[in-house]
Structures are given as structure tokens and as C-alpha cells.
Amino acid sequence: MLKHTPFHERLEELSQTQAWGNWAGYLSALRYDLSTKHEYFAVRNGAGFFDTSPLHKYWIRGRDAERFCSYVFARDIRPLKPGRAQYTIWCDDAGCVMEDGVIFRFSSDEFLLTAAEPNLGYFRQLARPFNVEIIDCSEDYASIAIQGPRSRAILEALTPDISDLRYFAFAETKIADTPVTVSRTGFSGDLGYELFIPAGDALRVFDALMEAGRPHALRPYGDEALGMTRIEAGLPLINVEFSSSRYAFTDDERFTPDELGLAWLLKGIDDPTRPFIGRDAIIRERMEGTSRWRTVGITVSWQDFYELFDGNGLLAIPDEIPVSWETMIYNDRDKRIGYATSFMYSPVLQCHIGIARVKPKYAEPGAEVFIEQTVNHEYINVRATVTTLPFYNPERKTA
């Protein structure tokens, strides 16, 4: 039987659809409203909240905590100061990405990692030579994301400690007389925050959030709206943009950081004092030029999309729900050159967008490619343009 998150009692009352999925053994809302678009616009124009409690959460503590993190994670942890967080990845010995997550530094020897997939056994095995303790605290904390342009105003009504919180910083504060950690992070590509709350006090804090959010039309959103916002933000999702190399059957299912567009995480990779797992393989890939793919954005103009269907006697009906399959991409000679891992119609941008994996020679911004669409039971290609990620990046996200 699937478990309930600490917020489920309240979330069930808010759901018009009772549409639930499975995330890490917990019920997770696919959508609350009859229209996913309503939830999406709450995040883009007001504020929405998403239950992130199923995230796996691990304390990494001990004298060697920083040294352990420097060895395991591909992004350099050493410059990270207490009170700051960073997005990171970890790789296998071949330099292929296993998973990703966000790590929070509480002190010189205490970190908290959140990740979508379980990693406790793997981390503990790696920790044997280190004076470090890995503690699974996943069920100790409820977590919730408050995202959107009004998210700051909602939280400022509950605590003064977040007013000057910088992007990817966090503060330990109190809401409804409950100790809460608030970070300026999220998966929406917008201004947003995430809260970590002792599980037993989750409903007390939730009720305070709902009361503070009422003047701002705060509403819940589910997995479908989350998918829309994260694609616009160009954010990769495990089991969609990439598979964990740990479970891959073939090399076609394994990807390096450079192939996934995550090279920016590897600043300082040439520093020999930090031999993280996979470092040598990644350096070798760069020296030999063996990257198979580049991750890019693609856009389809609304005129081209409408003409594709109108020219075949059909009405063009843009669908904002991301497709759940890979969509093939071709060059102008109908040769397959890649595929879109995510594809949807963006209500804000008013065109179709996708996160795509293409051969390096086709990855230059402005390059013309063609993406496959099904029309009258046939595969027909429509013109698309390669662009940089993210598609949507408002100044308020980091301001």
C-alpha cells in the first residue's frame, strides 16, 4: 500500500480529481484541478505549492564530511559556505551521471542532501574509508515548495528571516512556533522557496501557510504542472532527461555531464587535489572529443505547427501536457540526428518547446532541425529551431 505524506490529510481535501501517482512509495498528486493549466498559471502569475515530502533526505555528518562530499559529488563542495545550497550530480567511474540532487551546508562538517532516488546503501559503502556518518532522515521531515512571484510575500507574512534570503541560500527560522528550514530553491524556474518541517508538526505549519497565502490565491499544483514549469526552466528530470547509469542496460542509456548540458557544474575539474568519482573519464572524454550528444532547447513556431495540421485538413490543438515519450529529430535530409526527451506547448511562450539531445554538429543556436509529429496516423516532420536553455528565466528568480 502506498504511504501518505504528512500533508496528505489536507491535500486530499483540496483535490477535485483525486488523481494520484506513486513517488517513492508515497501518493503524489498528478493534479488537483480539473485543468492542469490553472495550476500552472498559479505558479507563473501568483503562487502555488507542491508537496516534496517523498524526496530522499540524508544527513552527511562527521570530521570527513567535506572530504567525502568532494570525493562523491562532481561539483566542488569546498567553496560552499554554511547557509548555502547547491545543485550537484554524482557519477560512476566511467564519468556517466548516476543521479542529481541538492546539497545544503549547515556547518563545516554537516550537510543535508535531497534526491529523488534512494542512495543510502551506495553512499554508506563509499563512506567506509571516511570518518563520516550517513543518516537517512527522509521520514523525519515533511517538505513543501512554495513557488511563484507571490511566494516571498506569503512567507514574509510568517517570518522576517527570509526577506533577504539570496538564491540558493537557506535560513533556520520558526513558522507557527515550529522550527523550519527555508531555502530559496525550487524546480519551477521562478521565484520560489522550499520548507523542511519536522514531520509531526507538518499540518500546523501547513495551516499557517494556507492562511498567509489566502490573499495571494495560493493553490496546490501536481506533477503535470510541475512538468510544465520545469521544462520551461530547462531543468533535467531523472528517468526523463536521463537514466541513472547504475540501472542502465546499455551505453545508449548512459550519459556524461557534458552530454547532458551539465558541464557548468564541473568548474575546477582540472584541480588534481579533488579526484572525484568519474573525473578522469570526463577529462579523457574532453581531450578525445568523444561526446556523442549535446543537450539543447528546441522551439517550433506556432505558424509552422498550425500549418502542419491545417494543411492536412485538421485543427491544430496545442497541448500543454508534456508528452510521455521521446520524439525523434531529423536534419533536412530526413536523417535522424537526435530526439526530444521532453516536448510541450508553453502557455507563456505561446509555442511548442522541447528539451532535446542532438549530435554535436547540430547543436549551434539557430540551427534548423525537424521534429516528428503524428498527423492522420503518419509521422510528419515540422521545422524547429535549436536554442539555448532555459526557455523561461525571469529576473525575479534570482533577484
pLDDT digits (tens, 9 = 90+) for 252-265: 999 999 999 999 99
d(CA 260, CA 234): 11
pLDDT digits (tens, 9 = 90+) for 203-254: 999 999 999 999 999 999 999 999 999 999 999 999 999 999 999 999 999 9
Pick one of 3.40.50.720, 2.60.120.1030, 3.40.50.1360, 3.30.1360.120 as the CATH number of 8-55+139-221. 3.30.1360.120
- Which of 82, 72, 66, 170 has its CA nearest to residue 124? 72
C-alpha cell belonging to residue 61: 555528518
- pLDDT above 90 covers a percentage of the chain that reads 99
Give the chain's mean pLDDT.
97
Q: Are 385 and 371 in contact (CB under 8 A)?
A: no
Please list the residue range(s) of the chain that carry CATH number 3.30.1360.120: 8-55+139-221
HEC assignment per residue over 27-84 = EEEEECCCCHHHHHHHHHHCCEEEECCCCEEEEEECCCHHHHHHHHECCCCCCCCCCE
Residues 6+ apart with CB under 8 A from 230: 187, 188, 189, 237
State residue 127's pLDDT score: 98
Q: Is 213 helix (H, G, I), strand (E, B) or coil?
A: helix
Helix axes 223-232, 36-45, angle to 10 degrees: 50
Q: What average pLDDT does the segment 269-283 reach?
A: 96
Q: What average pLDDT does the segment 166-189 reach?
A: 98
State residue 319's pLDDT score: 92
pLDDT digits (tens, 9 = 90+) for 99-157: 999 999 999 999 999 999 999 999 999 999 999 999 999 999 999 999 999 999 999 99
Q: Are 241 and 257 in contact (CB under 8 A)?
A: no
d(CA 374, CA 329): 13
Q: Which helix (H) or strand (E) holds 115?
A: strand 110-115
| Lowest mean pLDDT across 90-94, 162-166, 317-321, 343-347 | 317-321
State residue 235's pLDDT score: 98
Q: Are 386 and 367 in contact (CB under 8 A)?
A: yes
State residue 295's pLDDT score: 98
Please list the residue range(s) of the chain that carry CATH number 2.40.30.110: 294-395
- Which of 180, 278, 192 has its CA nearest to residue 235? 192
Split at pLDDT 50, 70, 90, the class of 1 is: confident
Q: Are 233 and 393 in contact (CB under 8 A)?
A: yes
pLDDT digits (tens, 9 = 90+) for 41-75: 999 999 999 999 999 999 999 999 999 999 999 99
pLDDT digits (tens, 9 = 90+) for 11-33: 999 999 999 999 999 999 999 99
d(CA 379, CA 327): 10
**CATH 3.40.190.10, domain 58-125+256-291, yes or no:** no
Residues 6+ apart with CB under 8 A from 269: 279, 282, 283
Peptide bond into 390 cis (omega under 30): yes
C-alpha cell belonging to residue 249: 542496460
- pLDDT above 70 covers a percentage of the chain that reads 100
Q: What average pLDDT does the segment 172-199 reach?
A: 98
d(CA 74, CA 100): 10
Please list the residue range(s) of the chain that carry CATH number 3.30.70.1400: 58-125+256-291
CATH topology (fold) of 294-395: Elongation Factor Tu (Ef-tu); domain 3 (2.40.30)
